[in-house]
Homo-oligomer: A and B are copies of this chain.
Amino acid sequence: MPDLSQQFASDNYSGICPEAWAAMAEANQGHQRAYGDDEWTARAADHFRRLFETDCEVFFAFNGTAANSLALAALCQSYHSVICSETAHVETDECGAPEFFSNGSKLLLAKTENGKLTPEAIRELALKRQDIHFPKPRVVTITQATEVGTAYTPDEVRAISAVCRELGLHLHMDGARFSNACAFLGCSPAELTWKAGVDVLCFGGTKNGMAVGEAILFFNKDLAEDFDYRCKQAGQLASKMRYLSAPWVGILQNDVWLKYAQHANHCAHLLAGLVSDIPGVNLMFPVEANGVFLQMSEPALEILRGQGWRFYTFIGAGGARFMCSWDTDEARVRQLAADIRKAMASTH
């Protein structure tokens, strides 16, 4: 198999972290009731409620696409619309899943700076069309941390939820990298979600050391009515649920989730620091969570590829994304930074 130790392409190239693995191994004993009616699932749900300091409703879906789409579908009908950033994963990388699960809801895209929606952008999109010939805005979704590596502060989330309340919109948070946002901001999960007005959070585990199994947390419990049926019908109810929930127990206890997110963020910040003085290399977005987006010359990127480094370049000419994960090796980060320096020098 190919050596992928030099990969910074995606945080989902990483494997299962030891703590999640150990919990899964422990769960793999004997028989357990199916479909979430087992001990591990109850324990995981309790962990979430403790961590978020509130009696939220907890569900599990197999992946982030399904978690987001199921949640959005629960918040709106087919003739409603969902306001999001033009860089939102639900728009750019889920192959129309939100539209499919909701049977046709439309995504309304806001141009954003640093990947973050603003109250002004939401208001403008929500008020632009108010006739029945265009889908009625009903939900706002924000990604925390964003797809370009930035994080909404609690104040920013509160400002957004205020405009949502004013305009009759629900607020959904895509938390595929919620851990990284918490780690960067130093905020509690509660502060970043329900205390700031978030109705539903999709909390991602896959990018932070799990195999499958994103959690969907309804802080607004009215919105969770019959959500278990919705999951089942959409093919998102695991029969052997313990293998989705036990890993959550493994990473929720002892704040393992936070430790790994801090590590991934640390690696990103390290990389950003190490390349900050290289002529011709520019940060495209502030480095806050675990991603580093660099503007650099195509020849230099070509050299890096030739050396075996892996990264994404979908962002536009000369833009490269380097993602760090829970198991990124600091030495590799330093090596990458050194190779970037050399590549730039040789091509300048």
Residues of A within 8 A of B (CB): 1-2, 4-5, 7, 9-10, 12-16, 21, 27-35, 39, 61-67, 69-70, 77-81, 92-97, 99-106, 132-136, 206, 211-212, 226, 228-230, 232-240, 243-244
Contact = CB atoms under 8 A, between A and B. Distances in A.
Say whether chain A's binding surface is mostly helix, strand, loop, or mixed.
loop
A63 to B, nearest CB: 6
Contacts of A1: 32, 39
Contacts of A229: 77, 79-80, 95, 132, 135-136
B133 A232 contact: yes
Contacts of A70: 235
Contact of A78 (B35, B81, B103): B103
A137 to B, nearest CB: 11
A243 B101 CA distance: 25
Given A78-B100, A232-B79, A206 B95 contact: no
B134 A237 contact: no
A9 B80 CA distance: 26
B62 A238 contact: yes
Given A4-B31, A32-B15, A134 B95 contact: yes
Given A95-B135, A132-B228, A136-B229, A62 B236 contact: yes
9 contacts: A1-B39, A13-B32, A15-B28, A64-B239, A66-B234, A95-B233, A97-B104, A97-B235, A206-B240
Contacts of A10: 34, 239
A78 B96 contact: yes
Given A79-B230, A211-B243, A95 B13 contact: no
Contacts of A103: 78, 100, 103-104
Nearest to A92: B134
A239 B323 CA distance: 15
Contact of A63 (B64, B94, B238): B238
Contacts of A28: 15-16, 21
Given A28-B21, A62-B236, A233-B79, A99 B101 contact: no
